Structure 1
Amino acid sequence: MPSPESLPAVLLGLALVCPAMTEAQGLELGQVLIGAEDQSDEDQVIEAAKARLAQVPGGTNMVDLRRPLQGRVASNQDVLAYQPGIYAQSAGNEGVKISIRGSGINRAPGAHASGLYTMLDGLPLTGPGGTPYELLEPLWLEHVEVLRGANGFDRGALALGGAIDYVSHTGYDSPLLQVRYATGSHGYLQRQVSSGQVLGDFDYYVAMTEANADGYQDHTASESQGVIANFGYRLNSDLETRFYLRHRQTDNELAGRVTKHSIEHDPRAANPTYVARDDRRDEPGSTFIGNKTTWYIDDDSSIQTGLVYHDYPMDLSEGPNRLKVAYTDVSGTFDYKRRDTLWGLQSQSTLGLRVTRHLPNAGASEFVRIPSANTAGYAPGTLIRNFTYQGSDTVLHVGNDLEIADDLWLTTGLAALYTRRESDVTYPQEGGKTSLHDWDYASRVGMRYQLAPDLQLFGNLSRSVEAPHPWSLIYSSNIRFPAGSGVATGAQRDPVKLQNQTATTLEIGGRGDSTLGQWSLAWYYAQVRHELLSVLPDASATTPYELNASPTVHQGVEASLLSPLWSPDDGGQLSLRQSYTFSDFHYRDDDRFGDNRLPGLPMHYYHGELRYDWPQGFFAAFNTQWVSTVAVDYANSYYTDPYAIFGATLGYNAPKGDWQTWLDLRNLTDKHYAATVTPGYDDKGLDAARSTPGEGMAMYVGVSWSLL
């Protein structure tokens, strides 16, 4: 097997010499899923999703959860592994840092992620305040669709990173009863029971999940409990509706960031300051209630409407203070699709409207938790500040796919975006208020060419827009209450004003199949203005500042290859899957930092897995992950070390599909490495506490059983 240093070059070389393929074509307007007679309902849903993504003139990912579930699936890091163009790393709990094409590049793990529009079953999860992670329970998912960059345009995604849609099971693709149990290192325990079935025109799916872990690093214990349910009903052949419910509670201890020296010599040690304060993030219970109704007007047109209520309060013990946050969003969506023939050419059009807004209760109260420099002499529980977060996003988008020649499609789109961001310090009375109201636009033009049945080429040019979070207006402020302001002395007083981040992106690539396997390859180049970048003001800070940067560049290569290497006569198969992401993010002639790399993400990120499947249902796999250095400050004065980690998986899938078991071995060499970085401004070459350690050597075992 190639050395870790040569793996990205091997993958890229293979991808460049492969011919390409695309999935089945067509616009899915009707409710009938076309597939082979012997396909299961789940197979048909997966194939229909692949067909939709194949019509996108750019980079996409399709994650069938049946593959990740043949091992430990504890968070988004496990769900999004082996996916080109997606960086997903956990700091020991389910708060995963996710970035696509540098989106939200410097978000701390566990924060409300930026730069991506996230959906649950096609309904908005992302709001003006970002994307909370509490409802992203991986065991509830059937598959995940990722549309990188401008390729999420028809979903109403206008941010740099694109869109992710987490699609849950329904009664049509789930067993009547399923039980899953997993346990392993560092006190890990995960349990789920679920049920789903179809009863005439009605179907349902319901699951209850519970998990807890001590955590690899000290002071990273976590626990969660949740329930999901959805109920669908076909009123007639042209009208169907589905109701969705998710509720989940989480409680995560926080270990804070540590130095590279600490990771090398004592990787399980937490930041002593965080331990002394007993920092933790408690989610009293996030609730998501939604409905999606579809009317198939005729064979060529449909209307789909959605409505969502999302309540996600937080009780944060971070730093010397306690912060109780109230968040409630309400969202509405409208999507009209139709298929026409224009001048003898096939045409597929979309019209969509998405509105998400905070309800009036969105805000926070900050209390004294322990004595500190700001609040010395005040008893715990003393009120420091009250402040509000208010915001709304309204997106109107129109798109069209036009076949201008045989197998050559022109894609166009235009969107209008209205954003409102407000933050108001209501106590003490001397506090200030900032209110931002902005109109902006996004556009795209793209082409895809079906050069051969197994070769598709594509390209697109787009403009993206992302507004700041309402909460960042106050946390990024350097205007503080002066001495003599009592308990509020030193706290941020007046919210700042921030501009929308915009970017112009060019993407070129292709996808296909050949004797070497199924592959995808995309190159992109984005010029970003007013990029929203976060920075820790000092090593003891818990919340990064978010500010507009001078012009930056995001460019990279995203490649994947799935190769069938050997198929003996007995029906077994040896296969190799690989993904490689090259990311070059840097300033453009910044007055302070010149052309420095943007910190927080690696330039090279590789996953590979060699797997053999026996016809009886047994399988064995060996995997590796290779990551290059990461700058830990904007001055590029200090870097993490590169690392390569290795793992293995053994398991058995019963031929009837009614039960499976697996053993998942991780970090076999017990490598000490930094999994994520939350950058500082200029560390002047010193080893500051900026990193969170990755998990050491671990073993997990699991079993699931289904009543089919």
Structure 2
Amino acid sequence: MRSPKNLSTALLGLALVCPAVAEAQDVELGQVLIRDEQQGSDDPTVQEAKARLAEVPGGSNVVDMRQPLQGRVASNQDVLAYQPGVYAQSAGNEGVKISIRGSGINRAPGAHASGLYAMLDGLPLTGPGGTPYELLEPLWLDHVEVLRGANGFDRGALALGGAIDYVSHTGFDAPLLQVRYAMGSHGYRQRQVSSGQVLGDLDYYVALTDAKSDGYQDHTASTSQGVIANVGYRFNPNLQTRFYLRYRETDNDLAGRVTKQSIEHDPRAANPTYQARDYRRDEPGSTFFGNKTTYYIDDDSSIQTGLVYHDYPMDLREGPNRLKVAYSDVSGTFDYKRRDTLWGLESHSTAGLRVTKHLPNDGASEFVRIPTGNTAGYAPGTRIRDFTYQGSDTVLHLGNDLEIADDLWLTTGIAAIYTRRESAVTYPESGGKTSLHDWDYAPRLGLRYQLSPAVQLFGNLSRSVEGPHPWSLIYSSNQLFPAGSGVATGAQRDPIKLQNQTATTLELGGRGDSALGEWTLAWYYAQVRHELLSVLPNANAVTPYELNASPTVHQGVEASLNSTLWSQPGVGALSLRQAYTFSDFHYRDDERFGDNRLPGLPMHYYQGELRYDWPQGFFAGANLQLASKVAVDYANSYYADPYALLGATLGYNAAKNDWQTWVDVRNLTNTHYAATVTPGYDDKGLDAARSTPGEGLGVYWGVSWSLR
């Protein structure tokens, strides 16, 4: 059997040898106007987003949600499918492991994804404590913008993986009324009703959504419900504002990690401890309220301000203890943009400020849930300890794009970063405290050259900076309450100190359109220092320990090709879309692990879909997903198997765009595989419980109707 590496190479080259291809068309890579009178909205359309990201000298993606919505869209796994450089896999419910260029490579999927800067409509979602997932409802989105690696510089995003901006619908692109319903295997159900329209200078969008699933794996049932609303108002041609509201509740049962043998022989079985003790994660209600106001000073300059309040409490029952967590952030943004002519050269300048800060009441209380170990003999509900965590991120960034020759642009930038992290155990009184304050910087230098109307080449050298989470200072501590401390005996007492993770990255690549199709290609090489890596100390551990690693290297290749293989008017069109990601992440002469590969992600990852569209609106497709083996510990002593998944879709889009229906079949061969891995330190070649099984055979059906 051909290996996943060879298969992905062969399939990526299929379009290269096909004799029937469409004629090449020019790519619209012109400048993006600051003012858009016709749209009337400060949120970009899909085409505007593509044009804007084409001015970034580095890898990026724009996901037009009209394509994913022609199938099941349950989580970020479905939203970010077929995107080069992006690895997104579900952990059995809404918790999705997302990694770009090795960001958060081995963090457990869940509420605090690391290494990425997430935004909602250009406003900060990620805070010092990470990125909660419960507000990322896919049905609310018009499109998603992904700026991989340091290419999120102009958004104030300096994490290793870059930036993801989830852009919701507005009254300008939403139907007056839309109803969507989906159902399928494993008790899956999803419903939404939404409305949007423009009323003179005012527009609005509102949607109500709920979902329920029994889950493929035992003890992975989930429920969610939420509402989104935004209202925009245009005071005059130079001033407009928009208010955003998101509220959502989720409740997820947790099945835990299992062994490779369990996945091979009984993939639906949960970790016995998780099931017996009813581990679960409850998000009782998260609220995101923000405003974005844009003022056009003149035709060549603008100011945009943003303000966000984000409250996301958690009720965590992920172990024998119960943790009630209070999280709330406040964020402010300021962006100034202008166009000039400098020394006879066209110049685009930006200045921006991003500030996100935990509010003073942030903290957690831990209680006995199931008396065991050091808490044996204490009644459920007994308070074990209280601790606080504080943090803030401040980024001031200045950037410029200068056309130094015809179609040759020089990008320069510098960012100043201030991070603050504090954690303290306030009960028992003998607990400790740690406070970290760091200043850092991140320069950026890039070039992009329009070689022809249909080919652009780019390169950049950039630096990224990422602080640890405040809560990881206490959870990673090996300083424990000593014997005789009552119910707190054995719990972490003193928070530790961790350093900011930094990386210097070189990237080269290009994008364009040709007879072969629309293509993108990027190569990157990053030297990472003090990488924040997590490890489960044993097979039964719930919370990973997070520590700074010795120097590491992240390098890889990201490629996509969207081809029209055959097309005839009145008959139909056959197309092929492909995305391939090569990832090589390893230590640099570590004392213990040498040049071992970092566990947690496959080296080769490929997704492809072959689709036929009929003029009447019917479509049918077959898709393939390939992943190579994955190390499950830092010693590289044991691996999860490679896998190949087949799927199919069949559907109909009405000519008037008023209704749509589809059938989406996942994992046709019912392959047993590990979707995510949460690594251990050194399993000594033994099959430890490190993996989460991927979904088996599933069939889903959906329908939507719109009144426009």
- Is 1:108 the equivalent of 2:108? yes
CA deviation after TM superposition for structure 1 residue 541, in Å: 1.0
Which residue number in structure 1 is paired with residue 622 of structure 2? Answer: 622
Q: Which moved more, 1:108-117 or 1:291-300?
A: 108-117
**Secondary structure, in 3 states, of the residue corresponding to 2:45?**
helix
Cα distance in 1, alignment partners of residues 5 and 427 from structure 2: 55
Cα distance in 1, alignment partners of residues 15 and 534 from structure 2: 35
- Is 1:32 the equivalent of 2:28? no
Note the 1:644-659 alignment, pairs <5 A.
644-659=644-659
Cα distance in 1, alignment partners of residues 335 and 355 from structure 2: 12
From the superposition, tell whether residues 187 and 12 of structure 1 become closer, same or farther in structure 2 (CA, over 3 Å): closer
Instruction: Give deviations 1:210-263, integer Å, cap 9, x for gaps.
Output: 000000000000000000000000011100000000000000000000000000
Cα distance in 2, alignment partners of residues 176 and 111 from structure 1: 34
Amino acid in structure 2 at the alignment position of 1:426:
T
Instruction: Give deviations 1:40-64, integer Å, cap 9, x for gaps.
Output: x999811111100100000000000
Amino acid in structure 2 at the alignment position of 1:606:
Y
Amino acid in structure 2 at the alignment position of 1:704:
S
CA deviation after TM superposition for structure 1 residue 4, in Å: 4.7
CA deviation after TM superposition for structure 1 residue 28, in Å: 3.0
Alpha carbons 2:287, 2:312 under 8 Å: kept: yes
Cα distance in 1, alignment partners of residues 385 and 39 from structure 2: 58
Cα distance in 2, alignment partners of residues 463 and 12 from structure 1: 31
CA deviation after TM superposition for structure 1 residue 2, in Å: 8.9
Cα distance in 1, alignment partners of residues 596 and 105 from structure 2: 15
**Secondary structure, in 3 states, of the residue corresponding to 1:151?**
helix
Instruction: Give deviations 1:639-694, integer Å, cap 9, x for gaps.
Output: 00000000000000000000000000010000000000000000000000000000
Cα distance in 2, alignment partners of residues 626 and 571 from structure 1: 32
CA deviation after TM superposition for structure 1 residue 276, in Å: 1.2
Cα distance in 2, alignment partners of residues 117 and 373 from structure 1: 38
From the superposition, tell whether residues 653 and 15 of structure 1 become closer, same or farther in structure 2 (CA, over 3 Å): closer
From the superposition, tell whether residues 345 and 273 of structure 1 become closer, same or farther in structure 2 (CA, over 3 Å): same
CA deviation after TM superposition for structure 1 residue 25, in Å: 1.4
- Is 1:458 the equivalent of 2:458? yes
Which residue number in structure 2 is paired with residue 192 of structure 1? Answer: 192
CA deviation after TM superposition for structure 1 residue 31, in Å: 2.7
Which residue number in structure 2 is paired with residue 408 of structure 1? Answer: 408
**Secondary structure, in 3 states, of the residue corresponding to 1:309?**
strand
Which residue number in structure 1 is paired with residue 483 of structure 2? Answer: 483
Instruction: Give deviations 1:486-522, integer Å, cap 9, x for gaps.
Output: 0000000000000000000000000011111000000
TM-score normalised by structure 2 residue count: 0.97
- Of all paired residues, the percent bearing the same amino acid is 82
Which residue number in structure 1 is paired with residue 284 of structure 2? Answer: 284
Which residue number in structure 2 is paired with residue 559 of structure 1? Answer: 559
**Secondary structure, in 3 states, of the residue corresponding to 1:69?**
helix
From the superposition, tell whether residues 95 and 471 of structure 1 become closer, same or farther in structure 2 (CA, over 3 Å): same
Cα distance in 2, alignment partners of residues 633 and 319 from structure 1: 22
Alpha carbons 2:581, 2:606 under 8 Å: kept: yes
Amino acid in structure 1 at the alignment position of 2:623:
N
CA deviation after TM superposition for structure 1 residue 9, in Å: 1.5
Cα distance in 2, alignment partners of residues 169 and 264 from structure 1: 42
**Secondary structure, in 3 states, of the residue corresponding to 1:473?**
helix
Q: Which moved more, 1:160-169 or 1:8-17?
A: 8-17
Alpha carbons 1:440, 1:465 under 8 Å: kept: yes
- Is 1:203 the equivalent of 2:187? no
Amino acid in structure 2 at the alignment position of 1:503:
A
Cα distance in 1, alignment partners of residues 26 and 256 from structure 2: 46
Q: CA RMSD in A?
A: 1.8
CA deviation after TM superposition for structure 1 residue 26, in Å: 0.7
Alpha carbons 2:324, 2:366 under 8 Å: kept: yes
Cα distance in 1, alignment partners of residues 263 and 698 from structure 2: 17
Structure 2, unaligned stretches of length 5 or more? none
Query: How many residue pairs are counted as aligned between the two chains?
Result: 703
Which residue number in structure 1 is paired with residue 634 of structure 2? Answer: 634
Note the 1:368-383 alignment, pairs <5 A.
368-383=368-383
Alpha carbons 1:22, 1:511 under 8 Å: kept: no
Instruction: Give deviations 1:453-483, integer Å, cap 9, x for gaps.
Output: 0000000000100000000000000010011
TM-score normalised by structure 1 residue count: 0.97
Note the 1:61-72 alignment, pairs <5 A.
61-72=61-72
Alpha carbons 1:242, 1:293 under 8 Å: kept: yes
Note the 1:320-331 alignment, pairs <5 A.
320-331=320-331
Alpha carbons 1:100, 1:162 under 8 Å: kept: yes
CA deviation after TM superposition for structure 1 residue 110, in Å: 1.2
Alpha carbons 2:335, 2:351 under 8 Å: kept: yes
From the superposition, tell whether residues 388 and 15 of structure 1 become closer, same or farther in structure 2 (CA, over 3 Å): farther
Which residue number in structure 2 is paired with residue 514 of structure 1? Answer: 514
Note the 1:404-553 alignment, pairs <5 A.
404-553=404-553
Which residue number in structure 2 is paired with residue 364 of structure 1? Answer: 364
CA deviation after TM superposition for structure 1 residue 24, in Å: 2.8
CA deviation after TM superposition for structure 1 residue 122, in Å: 0.1
From the superposition, tell whether residues 42 and 328 of structure 1 become closer, same or farther in structure 2 (CA, over 3 Å): closer
CA deviation after TM superposition for structure 1 residue 362, in Å: 0.6
Alpha carbons 1:11, 1:560 under 8 Å: kept: no
Amino acid in structure 1 at the alignment position of 2:118:
T
Which residue number in structure 2 is paired with residue 176 of structure 1? Answer: 176
Cα distance in 2, alignment partners of residues 302 and 337 from structure 1: 5
Alpha carbons 1:21, 1:518 under 8 Å: kept: no
Which residue number in structure 1 is paired with residue 691 of structure 2? Answer: 691
CA deviation after TM superposition for structure 1 residue 27, in Å: 3.1
Cα distance in 2, alignment partners of residues 111 and 274 from structure 1: 18
Which residue number in structure 1 is paired with residue 77 of structure 2? Answer: 77
Which residue number in structure 2 is paired with residue 38 of structure 1? Answer: none
Alpha carbons 2:205, 2:230 under 8 Å: kept: yes
Cα distance in 2, alignment partners of residues 28 and 589 from structure 1: 49
Q: Which moved more, 1:4-13 or 1:177-186?
A: 4-13
From the superposition, tell whether residues 302 and 57 of structure 1 become closer, same or farther in structure 2 (CA, over 3 Å): same
**Secondary structure, in 3 states, of the residue corresponding to 2:274?**
helix
Cα distance in 2, alignment partners of residues 45 and 33 from structure 1: 11
**Secondary structure, in 3 states, of the residue corresponding to 2:48?**
helix
**Secondary structure, in 3 states, of the residue corresponding to 1:109?**
coil
Which residue number in structure 1 is paired with residue 576 of structure 2? Answer: 576
CA deviation after TM superposition for structure 1 residue 318, in Å: 1.0
Structure 1, unaligned stretches of length 5 or more? 36-40
Note the 1:142-157 alignment, pairs <5 A.
142-157=142-157
Alpha carbons 1:20, 1:455 under 8 Å: kept: no
Q: Which moved more, 1:573-582 or 1:103-112?
A: 103-112
